[in-house]
Structure 1
Amino acid sequence: MWSKAVLSLLLLTVTSVHAIWPIPESISTGNSTLWIGDVLLVTYNGEPIPWIRNYIPFGGPKFSSKEIVKGGVARTAKNILDNSFVPWKLYPRMALEKTEPSLWQHKTYITRLEIVQTEKDTAKTFKPLAGDVDESYNLTVNANGKARITAVSSIGVLRALETFSQLFFKHSKGPIYTKQAPVKISDAPQYDHRGLLLDVSRDYLPLDAIYRTIDALSWSKMNRIHIHATDSQSWPLEIPSIPELHQKGAYAHGKTYSPIDVAAIQTYAIQRGVEAIFEIDSPGHLGVVALSHPDLITGWGASPWTTYCAEPPCGQLRLNEPKVDPFLDKLMDDLLPRLAPYSAYFHTGGDEVNFNEYSLDPTVGTNDSSVIVPLIQKFIDKHHARVRKAGLVPMVWEEIPANYNVTIGEDVVVQSWLGDEAIKSLTANGHKVITSNYNFWYLDCGRGQWLNFAEGESFEENYPFNDWCGPTKNWRLIYSYDPRAGLTDEEAELVIGGEVGAWAEAIDEVNLDSILWPRSSAAGEVLWSGRLDAAGENRTQLDAAPRLAEFRERLVARGVRAEPVHMVFCTQGMDPNACLFQ
């Protein structure tokens, strides 16, 4: 048994909890205690900003830097004052009271937070192409209770405020403190595009689930949400000029996104430094359109579906049907002008086009690639022209340039999901790439089949019913991935970022949080901080696990039902060796 003297010495030598996520480029901290409460003078370029918990900035499409910062300050106040947590899971067993700062000694409070934005925002700040926004920041907190943020943009201010919020914990008796003063942090992201693909077609997600996802993205310093809005299973997107699309294609009445909803999602995201990019996949993954426009679609209801598509139900746009262009013109003339004020991109899809379906297409009548590829080229040329006409930059899945050998513009961003060799080939050919390598960053993998199998041969062949992309991509695997590994310097420069993917065959609002978080945050650190540290060494699980465990507690305290990183035994004392494999 430890003597009281030895135990006291051990408790005195325990370092303070210190776990910013994602890890900053440069950080130094001390061991002085500061407190924070309802009274705090906040200024933004010399003007007072209220330190209040609830403030709703004015909506877009014209955004004000001051409104963005005021909203960020209010959310920071709420997260610090109302959503902090008592870190008993992070301190040694039964040691919380000994490790917490004393309530009875003199308290030094943080009394001032000075925010300085060094350059003016532009319209591009709030609907940026990759690289348009400088998200760097500096944060200092001195031992006398003065804090200062400097950033080039209002988005950089938001990133700094998130870091500031992660310095604080709730005392078991109620007040909020940090034990890390003085603090000095300099930080900037390694990748410009740090995102999450959210599939809202295969399973409908209500707005509050999307908003909560955007919040968690912003806390992880991720800056893109890719809304996969439609697919062959359902059409939840309301298009006022073509109402029959959602009236016949949605799963149920009310399970749709109105133009007001779409604008609200985009506005909510921008206010948090996140850009919403919408996708209508085409010419494949569009079968549901057959319910309202059967003369535009081939392969709807085709059987056996395994011959004609990646998953049921099948259905692709007819490639040589004269009615397709007027339909797409009308669709895009309605949708794209509503997206353009809020985003620089529109994702046109292009993955998993099954040539066998075109043998069923009365306007094509063959699966011969020599016939089909020129038709896809013509389709892409016209479709990307629609996107550019709206002032947006097209994005495509990699099959368009890589599998079908379709020529695309230099402006087009290619999303790759097929692995490192695919990324190497795409960048060698000069394409700008975002990676969603399914071997590492598909969040739906490893959870078992969502299809059913009849007793007999099919049952026996597919037992024990694993899905196609297992195993599960746990946070350690996600964290191990380097998006630029094996590339030349020139090729690496073309990898502008990445997205984790949440395909929703078996994801809905009930299990969404536990599937996304904190695994997406692991990718968030790879994309913000880089896979390598300043010394060029791989960031290790031993460093990441305690910090991610702490960040997970912050997510939970803020209302996100994130999965545990590991059991409490591994986190108490923040000893990375406690659960080291030996």
Structure 2
Amino acid sequence: MKVAVISAAIATALFAVPSVAIIDTFLWPIPQSLSWGDGKLNIDNSFKFDAPNVPELQAAVARYKKLIWKERWTSVQVPFGNATTQNHASHGKLKSISISIKDKKADLSPDVDESYTIDIPENASTGTITAQTIWGAMHGLETFSQLVKATSDSHNAGLYVAKTPVKIKDAPKFPYRGIMLDTARNFYSVDDILRTIDGMSYNKMNVLHWHITDSQSFPLLLESVPELGDKGAYTLHGKRLGYTKSDVKRIIKYARARGVRVVPELDMPAHTASWKGVEGITTCTEQFYLDPTNDWGNRYANEPTAGQLNPINPKTYEIVNKVIDEVTSWFDDEYYHGGGDEPVNHCWQDDKGVSDYMQKNNVTGDDLLETFLNKELATIKKNKKTAILWEDAVTSLHLNIPKETILQVWTGSIKDAVQAGHKVIASSYNFFYLDCRSGNWNGNDTTVDEQVPPTVPQKLQDYINNNYPDWAGNLIASPNFGGVAGDWCAPFKSWQRVYSYDVTYQLTKEEAKSVLGGEVALWSEQSDSMTLDMKLWPRAAAAAEMLWSGRYDSTGKQRDIGEAMPRMFDWRYRLVERGLRAEPIQPLWCGKNPHGCDLNYPWVFTHPNDGGGY
């Protein structure tokens, strides 16, 4: 037997015979360092995990023991090359995995050590998972579960560890690997959120950013200000759609048991029409978000419905303080997201009291926003939380915001945010917005009424052809038409697009240290319980690998979508098996005919002896 060494860059390996390795075990996300052989170590029926007596770890051990026997996985993706090649059978049986933890008391914090190693020798009765913390050990359990496969022999049905001996040394590239879930535009049940957390744990994602409230609804049923939820939460068929304190605690407990932190966001001062339960603290509430001229510059909000917190009313800050105090007491994470995005000055100017104040004190809407945000941030700090804001206030408006505030960058420049002295979470809408190109959700939009493609002026066509020939097809000759359809962030972000996001692009090595990681965002204007899984998975899994494994491997080589494709193909089916209604990414035929669906003529067809396995 010859051991194949697989770096984080490539999952192909060469053996003496046959010349092309048959890699039929597909790991996601790909480990930082992996070596494995061509052995097949059967798992004994009495198999167990020997783990320290730590409640969260014992619960994880029980889950994964149940999972590997229930899943009984056989790969859907067919390996490229000589598919008849079999792993040679080991003479031993794996009876246990011994888990050792160096720091059993390390809490689930933003800087917790999530590294782990796996060592499964050939012919061994015992393998090991070693980790600094229980949270790293949980990631090791997930990777181990992906190494386990079911035998295809019906007379000897059992499980085995493929490709022994196996040695893995793994750790995340970025400490922050998140999903943002918006529960204000449309409502998700507690079970929907728990299922999302399951998917995150399978993909080694560790932060659920819960965008709880927005203009459309206030679904959090607070005890200190009950009128906010009473009047701001949706009702459907006579049922109020909201989250109680016990709901929140259940979600946090479930997430923690799976190594996932929950960071709440109550957006303010904009996106707060749903705060109407307390009279007098909002402006331009109930206004249509546009005025009769349809001039975007005269809008009251960026989308329905209009309403912003009144920045000069003392009662506003009294309510804001109560809300933040209670919410931070419910959520135990060190981070708290304060929102801060998309304020519209017209909404404040529409209020006579605010307008008179601005004129009397010679202040602008930006001045009012800076005052509000700094008061909000002071309350967050008083509650011993690290604040996160959407980046608008710094990168677009250049307001004076404390440097300890983390910025979530969605439209602006990560470099600008870093150079302004802030830590950053990357969420570019060009890569990480999963709601993009779902189509228009506004009423009375007639721009979709195009029966033929729009005519391109000949001068413009000639100019593009002569000066930008490589772009001409995308800018002019696209076969797609049908109106702008109100979709500001088109096109649809495919898993390949998500996978391609380089969150440290054009940053120096020193600047890159300020990027904590990234977060895919699912805004829910056109998503609810019926579509949640398909909108998230497997595209969020693409972000998970980029954030865990890194856009580049340890040698500096950029990760290849073509190499990731068969692993992603198989992983999608595995997510479905685990209860997530993940969207298909190719016809099943493509997985059964490796490279048969490539966009360009496959390199491996002309170089069959140079590493055509996965």
TM-score (norm 1): 0.87
Q: 1:18 maps to which residue?
A: 25
The answer to whether structure 1 residue 112 and structure 2 residue 132 are counterparts is no
Deviation per CA, 1:338-396: give whole Å up to 9, x if none.
21xx2011100001111111111233217899422222222122211111121111110
Q: 1:310 maps to which residue?
A: 302
The answer to whether structure 1 residue 223 and structure 2 residue 223 are counterparts is no
- Quick one: distance in 2 between partners of 1:106 and 1:218? 31
* Aligned pairs, number: 539
What secondary structure is seen at the aligned counterpart in 2 of 1:346? strand
Q: 1:74 maps to which residue?
A: 62
What secondary structure is seen at the aligned counterpart in 1 of 2:268? coil
The answer to whether structure 1 residue 187 and structure 2 residue 162 are counterparts is no
TM superposition shift of 1:315: 0.5
Match of 2:570 among 536, 547, 550: 550
Q: Is the 8 Å Cα contact of residues 77 and 569 (structure 2) preserved in structure 1?
A: no
TM superposition shift of 1:299: 1.4
Q: 1:55 maps to which residue?
A: none
TM superposition shift of 1:407: 1.8
The answer to whether structure 1 residue 162 and structure 2 residue 152 are counterparts is no
- Quick one: distance in 1 between partners of 2:218 and 2:86? 53
What secondary structure is seen at the aligned counterpart in 2 of 1:40? strand
- Quick one: distance in 2 between partners of 1:526 and 1:556? 21
TM superposition shift of 1:169: 2.1
Q: Is the 8 Å Cα contact of residues 439 and 485 (structure 2) preserved in structure 1?
A: yes
Q: Is the 8 Å Cα contact of residues 28 and 203 (structure 2) preserved in structure 1?
A: yes
Alignment of 1:87-102 (within 5 A): 87-90=75-78
Deviation per CA, 1:33-65: give whole Å up to 9, x if none.
1223552242225x6xxxxxxxxxxxxxxxxxx
Match of 2:515 among 481, 492, 495: 495
TM superposition shift of 1:90: 2.8
Cα gap change, 1:186 to 1:502, in 2 (>3 Å): same
TM superposition shift of 1:510: 0.9
My pick for the range that moved more, 329-338 or 465-474, is 329-338
What secondary structure is seen at the aligned counterpart in 2 of 1:162? helix
Match of 2:286 among 293, 301, 307: 301
The answer to whether structure 1 residue 44 and structure 2 residue 32 are counterparts is no
Cα gap change, 1:454 to 1:185, in 2 (>3 Å): closer
Q: 1:581 maps to which residue?
A: 600
Match of 2:335 among 331, 345, 354: 345
- Quick one: distance in 2 between partners of 1:558 and 1:545? 20
- Quick one: distance in 2 between partners of 1:89 and 1:496? 34
- Quick one: distance in 2 between partners of 1:395 and 1:88? 41
Q: 1:282 maps to which residue?
A: 268
Cα gap change, 1:318 to 1:148, in 2 (>3 Å): same
- RMSD of aligned Cα (Å): 2.5
- Quick one: distance in 2 between partners of 1:81 and 1:100? 22
Query: Identity, % of aligned pairs?
Result: 36
TM-score (norm 2): 0.83
Match of 1:246 among 219, 229, 244: 229
What secondary structure is seen at the aligned counterpart in 2 of 1:347? strand
- Quick one: distance in 1 between partners of 2:598 and 2:65? 35
Q: Is the 8 Å Cα contact of residues 21 and 220 (structure 1) preserved in structure 2?
A: yes
Unaligned runs of 5+ in 1: 1-9, 48-65
What secondary structure is seen at the aligned counterpart in 2 of 1:194? strand
Alignment of 1:262-277 (within 5 A): 262-277=248-263
Cα gap change, 1:346 to 1:538, in 2 (>3 Å): same
What secondary structure is seen at the aligned counterpart in 2 of 1:363? helix
**Counterpart amino acid of 1:335?**
V
Deviation per CA, 1:505-555: give whole Å up to 9, x if none.
001111111110111111111111110122211101111111111211211
The answer to whether structure 1 residue 139 and structure 2 residue 139 are counterparts is no
Q: Is the 8 Å Cα contact of residues 234 and 288 (structure 1) preserved in structure 2?
A: yes
My pick for the range that moved more, 300-309 or 189-198, is 300-309
- Quick one: distance in 2 between partners of 1:175 and 1:101? 15
TM superposition shift of 1:494: 0.6
TM superposition shift of 1:99: 6.5
Q: 1:363 maps to which residue?
A: 353
Deviation per CA, 1:400-454: give whole Å up to 9, x if none.
22223222223211000015xx111111111100010000110000221111225
- Quick one: distance in 1 between partners of 2:321 and 2:233? 21
- Quick one: distance in 2 between partners of 1:304 and 1:412? 30
Deviation per CA, 1:80-118: give whole Å up to 9, x if none.
11123332443579x99x66779xx88743101111112
Q: 1:436 maps to which residue?
A: 427
Q: 1:7 maps to which residue?
A: none
**Counterpart amino acid of 1:526?**
M
Cα gap change, 1:37 to 1:503, in 2 (>3 Å): farther
Q: Is the 8 Å Cα contact of residues 16 and 31 (structure 1) preserved in structure 2?
A: no
Q: 1:150 maps to which residue?
A: 130
